[in-house]
A and B are shown apart, each in its own frame.
Chain A
Amino acid sequence: MLRFFLLVNKQGQTRFSRYYSGMPIQAEERVLMEADIARKCLKRSDVQCSIFEYGQYKLAYRRYASLFFVIGFDEEENHLSILELVQAYVEILNTYFDNVCELDIMFNIEKVHVILEEMVSNGRIVETNKHNVLAPVLEMNKASR
């Protein structure tokens, strides 16, 4: 199952993070871990594997422009499906925000959370259909107007 979902930029600043149950971690440790992960991702070259081990978890990461999308998961999960999840997620964000960029994510952090909630629940991938994921969000937007 997924343990956490993290967006860090090239300077090591966390732009978005979501942790799933079973990941007992305090705030200070969390910050350190995120910085450490950002460093490790930065060190890797483009040619190297997109998966690497970090303690007891495996990390799958992808870089989009200046942001690293990092997912930490357990050994038994299909790592390629996780990588594809990242891609699907970015595509969905792209559709919603129209050419999403880092700023969009920063200023709409609650929306980003909600979209992720639609896709991943309990650390499992539930929905990847773009339409299904965005429908409730768009509904809510309509209702708020």
Chain B
Amino acid sequence: MNSRLPTILNTTYLTSGLSRGFFEFVTRVGEARSKQEEDRYVSQEIVSLKTKLNHPDISSRKIRDYITRLIYCEMLGYNVEFGHIHAVKLAQSAKGLWDKRIGYLACSLFLHETHELSIMLINTLQKDLKSSNYLEVCAALTALCHLLNKDMIPAVFGLVEEALSHPKDIVRKKAVMVFSRLFHDAPDTMIHLDEKFRQMLTERDPSVLGSILCLFLEFIKADPNKFKDLVPSLISILEQVLDRWLPRSYDYHGVPAPWIQIKIIENMGLLARDDEKISSEVGPLIVHTLRKAENGVDAAYAIIFECIRAISRLHPQTLSTIIHKSPNLNPLNVITRFLKSNNHNLKYLGLTCLSEIDPMWWIEGEWWGEEQMNIIVDCLEERDDTLKRKTLDLLYAMVNSQNVVVVMEHMINALRTISTTDEFSRLLLVNRIVEISGKYPLNLQNKDYDKAVDSTFLIISKSIESKEKSEEIRQYAVSEAIKILESDINNTTKNLTSWALRILGEFVKSTELQEKIYNRLCDLLTQVDYEIQAQVITTLLKCVSKMKYCPDNIIECVAKCCQSSSGDVKQRSREFIILSKDFVLLDKIIKPYENFDDFTIDESLSFLDNFVENALKNGAKPYNRIPITREDTNAATEIRYEAYEKPNMTYFPKQIMTSLPTYDDSRLSESDRDVLLPNDRSNQSSRGVGPPVTPGQLAWFGVTQEHLPPENVHEHTSLLADSQEPNYNDYEEIDSNRQSVISLIPKMKLQPSTQSWSRAGYKPVNSTESDKFIKYNTSNTRSSLRSSDKVLSIASVTSKTTMTPEKEKLASALFSGVGTSDPGQ
């Protein structure tokens, strides 16, 4: 803030009419550079105020000044309890109106309902409520809204009731608000006033309108049926407001009394719920209000939102009439406009509107489609976390048995990324996930099962709320797992058993491990099939690592598994035998679940590089990947720009490709016609020979030299220089550092006459060509692919456009089944 010197001549100081002390205090505190400085000033001030306030004879004005300073201190979080009594005294003995008002204000801020000092105020309140000066009555009524408690009610009730008929509208307004507060505490006392309130509503005094509508909102929420007769009144009031019968001062940015409109619509929506007659009366008016509000002003959007909320509460019959009237006039079209706008607030509004409306209505009226779905999917990935959360809410609202898997996936992802301090949203999300998974128990396939298990782990391992709670959960989970394992194993599904084993292994504490658990696990080893056996062994390993001690019978049981015919089980049991003797090593290996996200797998096994180096130094032979020996290594590895000669050999159908060439990253060659197999310099061959096993091979088989004019070669290399990753979904998957295996196939040239490859093995070939391990450029592949008619054109395979198809897939997955007969939540 601009710091201005606290001089006497400062305009703000002069016009505020404040004392010097106040001014200085506020300036100093406001300009304090650090919390400690502020602390110092405020504490000093509090001490001085204490003494000043205790002086017997000070003017009302001065007390007001001090109390205001106390309000300030209290706001900053300091304790000003000594000042409470002074505030009460101020309200009592104030001479001027402002003094009184501020006294009441201070009481409202300092005292809460059950405070003892509020009793002292009763007398003052009574006096003021009877006062002839309406401003004093107002002050008292305002304070009552905050301070009303059970003891006060009998004392002031009558007076407040009288205030309902006060000549001044402000007083009436405030009295109504006091009753709205009273409704929460003691609704029975107000029953006889029902008539009075209805009368006030129909009088349509505009200034009371705001508060009386609030009051009725409370009433209607509690018991809608009693107030259904108010509908005609509400309708006519709304119509009048829309026709601009209210005085100009009620207009806000061109919209006539927006807050009043909103309140009326809210009331109508609540009354119309599940009631067809009222819905039909009220529906058209709401649509009309919506139309009138479409003038692009912010306040109007608030009205539109409330209209849509009310529409969603209408009886289905009316709703379908409204929607089907004509596609252009469908009021829900505004939602699409909101979603499409760039303004985040409007997008948020669109999403919120959507979540209010039952998905069933999305399909009806055909205003909903892929387009909107795509927008929603985009919102899922927005950086703005409010939009993301709202979209998640939306997904939750539209979940049904068909898209539940996708929705769950997203929710679980969101759970991972929400920070651990945001307890409330985590709880909400977890509750929702649990609810959905309970409602739509599918036969989860393995992939989904894994995700579900992951989510359980996540929930258990990340601490929720307090330590005790997460401990409770852990114990519960472990005991459930043990129960499952102890029951008849044939009765439980595989998934469940496997889940129980994993939970047991991860979360059981060493103090809970008992003999019988071990025995049970050993028994299981003999009863179950391979997959579960593997898991049992791992679970045993984890238990043993926690116990740091391995009973002999376990080792015996596991040793039996070493003879198993399943490779996995054999491996695990052998590891077990070794590791169970070495607990230090075991500790390093078994990590608790919290670190799961840090798990990375180093596929190139780079951590073994040292080991390999050492071994090589000591004379070990390097790994020879393919034992194809080539004698001549003077291969021409440069790029060759001319086309090769046409093949002039006849085709020998017996050519079989016996081995797919491997490749070596370091030998990347730019050549587009590099030879893989040695003597094939000149040939391109074949048509569909041998076992055409992959689409790539097929593609290759379609290629002949004729199809490929030499000039194309250059084009292709340049075109695709940037994109390194061929993205052929139909082809084998390879990681991005290596070329698709299939891409190598076109390079194979078979030299029919001199070849004698057989399935049995490789034969050394006297070749003029080089190179064993060659990596091929994508360009080559593409050129060959392009010429084949079985393959997609390149344009569709570049990496950039894969985003939208994915998103479209997601959108259609989410959209599937929306609005079907699934019962709502």
The chain A residues found within 8 Å of chain B, CB to CB, are 9, 13-14, 16-17, 21, 27-28, 30-31, 47-53, 55-56, 66, 78-81, 83-85, 87-88, 102-104, 106-110, 113-114, 117, 121-122, 124-132, 135-136, 139-141, 143-144
Which chain B residues (93-115) contact chain A, with CB distance < 8 Å? 96-98, 101-102, 105, 109, 113
- Nearest-neighbour CB distance to chain A for B552, whole angstroms, equals 54
Q: Are A48 and B386 in contact (CB under 8 A)?
A: yes
Known interface pairs A56-B424, A127-B210. Does A84 touch B135 (Cβ–Cβ under 8 Å)?
no
Q: How far is the CA of A140 from the CA of B4 in the complex (A)?
A: 29
Which residues does chain B contribute within 8 Å of A110, judged by CB atoms?
68, 71, 98, 101-102, 105
Q: Are B384 and A84 in contact (CB under 8 A)?
A: no
4 closest A-B pairs by beta carbon, nearest first, are A80-B302, A31-B77, A49-B386, A81-B302
Known interface pairs A78-B302, A80-B349, A103-B4. Does A108 touch B16 (Cβ–Cβ under 8 Å)?
yes
Q: Are B75 and A14 in contact (CB under 8 A)?
A: yes
Known interface pairs A13-B30, A30-B77. Does A50 touch B345 (Cβ–Cβ under 8 Å)?
yes
27 inter-chain pairs at a CB distance below 8 angstroms, sorted by A residue, are: A27-B77, A47-B384, A49-B348, A49-B387, A50-B344, A53-B425, A80-B299, A83-B298, A83-B345, A103-B1, A103-B2, A103-B4, A103-B12, A106-B26, A107-B13, A114-B105, A117-B105, A121-B145, A121-B177, A124-B177, A125-B214, A126-B214, A132-B207, A136-B135, A143-B96, A144-B97, A144-B98
* Selected contact of A80 from candidates B26, B96, B301, CB within 8 Å: B301
| Contacts A80-B305, A106-B26, A124-B214 supplied; 15 other A-B pairs, CB < 8 Å | A31-B77, A56-B424, A81-B259, A108-B16, A113-B105, A114-B105, A122-B177, A122-B180, A126-B173, A126-B177, A128-B210, A129-B257, A132-B249, A143-B96, A144-B97
Q: How far is the CA of A67 from the CA of B77 in the complex (A)?
A: 19
The chain B residues found within 8 Å of chain A, CB to CB, are 1-2, 4, 12-13, 16, 18, 22-23, 26, 30, 68, 71-72, 74-79, 96-98, 101-102, 105, 109, 113, 135, 138, 142, 145-146, 170, 173-174, 177, 180-181, 207, 210-211, 214, 217, 249-250, 252, 257-259, 262, 266, 298-299, 301-302, 305-306, 309, 344-345, 347-349, 352, 384-387, 389, 422-425
Which residues does chain A contribute within 8 Å of B217, judged by CB atoms?
124
Which residues does chain A contribute within 8 Å of B259, judged by CB atoms?
81, 84-85, 125, 128
Q: Are A79 and B352 in contact (CB under 8 A)?
A: yes
Known interface pairs A84-B252, A129-B207, A136-B138. Does A27 touch B386 (Cβ–Cβ under 8 Å)?
no
Which residues does chain B contribute within 8 Å of A102, judged by CB atoms?
1
Which residues does chain A contribute within 8 Å of B298, judged by CB atoms?
80, 83-84, 87
Which residue of the partner chain B has the closest CB to A113? B105
* Selected contact of B79 from candidates A27, A56, A78, A106, CB within 8 Å: A27
Which residue of the partner chain A has the closest CB to B180? A122
Q: Are A9 and B302 in contact (CB under 8 A)?
A: no
Which residue of the partner chain A has the closest CB to B304? A80
Residue with the greatest number of chain B CB neighbours at <10 A, chosen from A16, A79, A104: A79
- Nearest-neighbour CB distance to chain A for B200, whole angstroms, equals 14
Q: Are A51 and B386 in contact (CB under 8 A)?
A: yes
Which residues does chain A contribute within 8 Å of B347, judged by CB atoms?
49
Which residues does chain A contribute within 8 Å of B301, judged by CB atoms?
80
Which residue of the partner chain B has the closest CB to A19? B109
Q: Are A107 and B16 in contact (CB under 8 A)?
A: yes
Which residue of the partner chain B has the closest CB to A125? B259
Q: Are B299 and A84 in contact (CB under 8 A)?
A: yes
Q: Are B77 and A28 in contact (CB under 8 A)?
A: yes
Q: How far is the CA of A52 from the CA of B72 in the complex (A)?
A: 28
Residue with the greatest number of chain A CB neighbours at <10 A, chosen from B77, B78, B170, B348: B77
Which residues does chain A contribute within 8 Å of B306, judged by CB atoms?
78, 81
* Selected contact of B97 from candidates A47, A80, A143, CB within 8 Å: A143
Q: How far is the CA of A47 from the CA of B306 in the complex (A)?
A: 24
Q: Are B302 and A136 in contact (CB under 8 A)?
A: no
- Nearest-neighbour CB distance to chain A for B236, whole angstroms, equals 21
Q: How far is the CA of A88 from the CA of B297 in the complex (A)?
A: 14
Q: How far is the CA of A143 from the CA of B729 in the complex (A)?
A: 82
* Selected contact of B180 from candidates A13, A114, A124, A139, CB within 8 Å: A124
- Nearest-neighbour CB distance to chain B for A58, whole angstroms, equals 9
Known interface pairs A114-B101, A121-B177, A126-B214. Does A48 touch B77 (Cβ–Cβ under 8 Å)?
no
Q: How far is the CA of A106 from the CA of B26 in the complex (A)?
A: 7
Q: How far is the CA of A87 from the CA of B724 in the complex (A)?
A: 53
Q: Are B181 and A122 in contact (CB under 8 A)?
A: yes
Q: Are A127 and B173 in contact (CB under 8 A)?
A: yes
Q: How far is the CA of A14 from the CA of B74 in the complex (A)?
A: 11
Q: Are A117 and B344 in contact (CB under 8 A)?
A: no
Known interface pairs A28-B77, A78-B262. Does A107 touch B135 (Cβ–Cβ under 8 Å)?
no
Which residues does chain A contribute within 8 Å of B23, judged by CB atoms?
107
Q: Are B386 and A104 in contact (CB under 8 A)?
A: no
Q: How far is the CA of A103 from the CA of B5 in the complex (A)?
A: 12
Q: How far is the CA of A56 from the CA of B424 in the complex (A)?
A: 6
Which residues does chain B contribute within 8 Å of A13, judged by CB atoms?
30
Q: Are B302 and A84 in contact (CB under 8 A)?
A: yes
Which residues does chain B contribute within 8 Å of A113, judged by CB atoms?
71, 105, 109
* Selected contact of A140 from candidates B98, B302, B309, B422, CB within 8 Å: B98
Q: Are B348 and A51 in contact (CB under 8 A)?
A: yes
Which residue of the partner chain A has the closest CB to B343? A47
Q: How far is the CA of A83 from the CA of B318 in the complex (A)?
A: 31
Which residue of the partner chain A has the closest CB to B246? A129
Which residues does chain B contribute within 8 Å of A88, judged by CB atoms?
252
Q: How far is the CA of A144 from the CA of B18 in the complex (A)?
A: 14
Q: Are A117 and B258 in contact (CB under 8 A)?
A: no
Which residue of the partner chain B has the closest CB to A17? B75
Q: How far is the CA of A84 from the CA of B71 in the complex (A)?
A: 27
Q: How far is the CA of A81 from the CA of B217 in the complex (A)?
A: 16
Which residues does chain A contribute within 8 Å of B26, judged by CB atoms?
106-107
Q: How far is the CA of A80 from the CA of B306 in the complex (A)?
A: 9
Which residues does chain B contribute within 8 Å of A128, judged by CB atoms?
210, 252, 259
- Nearest-neighbour CB distance to chain A for B820, whole angstroms, equals 28
Known interface pairs A84-B298, A140-B97. Does A135 touch B1 (Cβ–Cβ under 8 Å)?
no
Q: Are A27 and B177 in contact (CB under 8 A)?
A: no
Which residues does chain B contribute within 8 Å of A122, judged by CB atoms?
145, 177, 180-181, 214
Known interface pairs A49-B345, A127-B173, A128-B210. Does A84 touch B258 (Cβ–Cβ under 8 Å)?
yes
Known interface pairs A78-B262, A109-B71, A136-B135. Does A125 touch B302 (Cβ–Cβ under 8 Å)?
no
